[in-house]
Structure 1
Amino acid sequence: MKLAVIEGDGIGKEVIPAAVEVLDTLGLDVEKVPVELGYGKWEKTGQAITDDDLEVLKGCDCILFGAITTPPDPNYKSVLLTIRKELDMYANIRPIRPLPTVRGILDRSNFNFVIVRENTEGLYSGIEEIGQDISWTKRVITRKGSERIAGYACKLAKERKNRIVIVHKSNVMKSDKLFLDVCRETAASHDVDYSDELVDTMAYKLISSPEKYDVIVTTNLFGDILSDMSAALVGSLGLLPSANIGTKHAFFEPVHGSAPDIAGKGIANPIAAILSLMMMLEWYGHMSEAALVEEAVDAALTEGIITPDMGGAYTTKEMTCAVVDHIKKEMRK
């Protein structure tokens, strides 16, 4: 495996090294390629990401990514959107599951669902015009984009409970009718049970009865909002991993941001980055190693190793060491 390692900005420089330490403990044959991207690079060079950077990324199998600080500057080129489009990583995958000893807003642990979000079009098309009196963004929905994201959702559903929920707003935005129709057709062709919900109704139902859902497929903006909202069920945005999947490449990152207010203090929660590593291992086919990483995270939390964002007093390093120690112990058996 050839892995691009991008720490990014802020706490990305703390949580990605933590995930890499966990990866090194597994003893896999991985060639790590460090790549500097983000706000720090933009401050130094005037570019957050270059064409040469993209060529390096295209030469790797996958990417482990920290977090990026995005300044309010119209000349700043979005690193994430650039990578997603250039590497055609069309599927954003965000699993939402409870973690031991951590309680979200409902104080319950009977949910386990995954949000599959189209990642290259919709309202994040990047087709915009900004003016003093009017600004607009073009929302793009294509048959190709809808077919392949629905296909990915169906693939996941086949590995789980064989059902999906299609989330849309076709009663108001008629472009969503294409998305809805194509998702229905794709689910039927894959012999996957399906239903659909309007996005506002879905938001309510995910908070009130999350245990009823398994695989949710939706458009770019809706998936972004629903997945961040669902972090409240788990307990924090700092606990959620994610994957961006394409036909040739994949990109794994914690959902949280660069958190400059706590950067450098050694208290950032590395769990989302470590669980993103777990998703990377699953994608590459290292299923037993991925399961071991997940087990090690759960074991650390069960032992009460909790960082300040969850009400504890353990540091980033101490949390990482607890995960690493569990893996080493299990590998010696």
Structure 2
Amino acid sequence: MTEYRIAVLPGDGIGPEITEVATRVLRHVTTRHGGVALHLTAHDAGAGRWQREGVALTDETYDGCVRADAILMGAIGLPEARHPDGREVNGDVIFRLRFDLDLYAGIRPVRAWPGLASPLAAAPPVDYVVVRENVEGLYASRTGGCNVREEVATDTIVITATGTRKVTEQAFRLAAKRGGRPRDGRSMVTCVDKANVLSSYAFFRRVFDQVAAGHPGVASDHVYVDAMTAYQVQQPDMFDVVVAENMFGDIISDLAAATVGGLGLAASADVGDRHGLFQPAHGSAPTIAGKGVANPVATVLSAAMMLDWLADRHGDPAAAEAAGVIEGAVGDVLAAARVLTPDLGGAAGTDEVGEAIIAAADRRL
């Protein structure tokens, strides 16, 4: 039996509720499976702690994340918890972990789940992954911008050959493991940029093309970001793996989630060569916190991604099997369409969905 140490950051708003469900599913499935043991350690980090103590992520918690085999996060941030310059304090946690642990690839899968109505009129098959460069781009300027007398404000985009190469290699490795795009099964990585206007994105594209040349078994393509938003709605089946600069990746991944039912289904992973952080792509939704109606599916799927990443990193088939059980159980619950939270058109509560996923997992174990 393989043992893993998991740092758990429940966070703010609905974060503790959805994290509790995800950890309950993890414990149940790994215990029943018997091949994986998880040691989960919860840490207090986020806007609530910042409001109480003036710090969102202590060095002690950061060190716990560094020592862990993986990090599972709920949702961080509250709209009223802001620094004097207007930035939300959630960045004190999320960006510190991303930048300091070099979690350079934000991996955000998007798929249309059977049983859920598509908001797209044509309802084409959707199954692709957005790979977002996570530590450069426009967000690298988040604390280094310039504001002159509240008259002029600037931020600078940062794109390096090394950073672009690393995230592009991640995208091609991912494409090589997938089954190709829904349209024709062709494996393809699409570079999303604005190379026709900005030299920084033209540079991003040139580095992408250099990496693509080293992967002849996977096709490559380019799409301008404005056209990308149209294709995501009209022809999403043309995509397999998509790679983009930080801000563009952030925007198109949220649009991707909206096309298949919303952010309540949007899992994500922030990974590097040594560390991995797994969290739902949505925010802390404080307006529904404590009401028991938050959708835990994105967090549960993020937990499955965590197991899959651990399996790949450590050559652990047991972890991969447990990940498959969880993902399959989520699919079973969504396909049945009987136990759904209000955001998906149902009336079930957070805990009820969690119990339905556990019951579905039991049928698969």
Same-fold call, TM > 0.5?
A: yes
1:315 pairs, out of 340, 345, 349, with: 349
State the match for 1:19 in structure 2: 22
Q: Is the 8 A contact 1:103 1:233 kept in 2?
A: no
SS of residue in 1 equivalent to 2:286: coil
2:117 pairs, out of 77, 80, 103, with: 103
State the match for 2:184 in structure 1: none
RMSD: 1.3
Worse-matched range after superposition: 9-18 or 126-135: 126-135
2:214 pairs, out of 186, 189, 197, with: 189
| TM-score normalised by the chain length of structure 1 | 0.96
Q: Is the 8 A contact 2:113 2:335 kept in 1?
A: no
State the match for 1:253 in structure 2: 279
Q: Distance in 2 between matches of 1:290 and 1:93?
A: 16
SS of residue in 2 equivalent to 1:78: helix
Q: Does 1:130 align with 2:140?
A: no
Q: Distance in 2 between matches of 1:103 and 1:300?
A: 14
State the match for 2:102 in structure 1: 88
Q: Distance in 2 between matches of 1:301 and 1:330?
A: 15
Q: Does 1:72 align with 2:82?
A: yes
| Identity %, equivalent residues | 38
State the match for 1:277 in structure 2: 303
Quote the offset at 1:178 in angstroms: 1.4
Aligned residues: 331
Q: Does 1:39 align with 2:54?
A: no
Q: Distance in 2 between matches of 1:174 and 1:113?
A: 28
State the match for 2:361 in structure 1: 327
Could you report, residue by residue, the CA deviation over 1:58-98 in whole angstroms, capped at 9, with x for unpaired residues? Answer: 00111110111243323745311111001110000000101
SS of residue in 2 equivalent to 1:29: strand
Could you report, residue by residue, the CA deviation over 1:162-191 in whole angstroms, capped at 9, with x for unpaired residues? Answer: 311111111111111211011111011122
Q: Distance in 2 between matches of 1:204 and 1:142?
A: 28
Could you report, residue by residue, the CA deviation over 1:26-77 in whole angstroms, capped at 9, with x for unpaired residues? Answer: 2131111111110110011101112222111100111110111243323745
Matches within 5 A, 1:194-213: 194-213=220-239
State the match for 1:174 in structure 2: 199
Quote the offset at 1:298 in angstroms: 1.4
Quote the offset at 1:202 in angstroms: 1.0
SS of residue in 2 equivalent to 1:7: strand
Quote the offset at 1:154 in angstroms: 0.5
State the match for 2:168 in structure 1: 150
Letter in 1 for 2:100: E
Quote the offset at 1:5 in angstroms: 0.5
Quote the offset at 1:109 in angstroms: 5.2
Q: Is the 8 A contact 1:167 1:217 kept in 2?
A: yes
Letter in 2 for 1:293: I
SS of residue in 2 equivalent to 1:256: coil
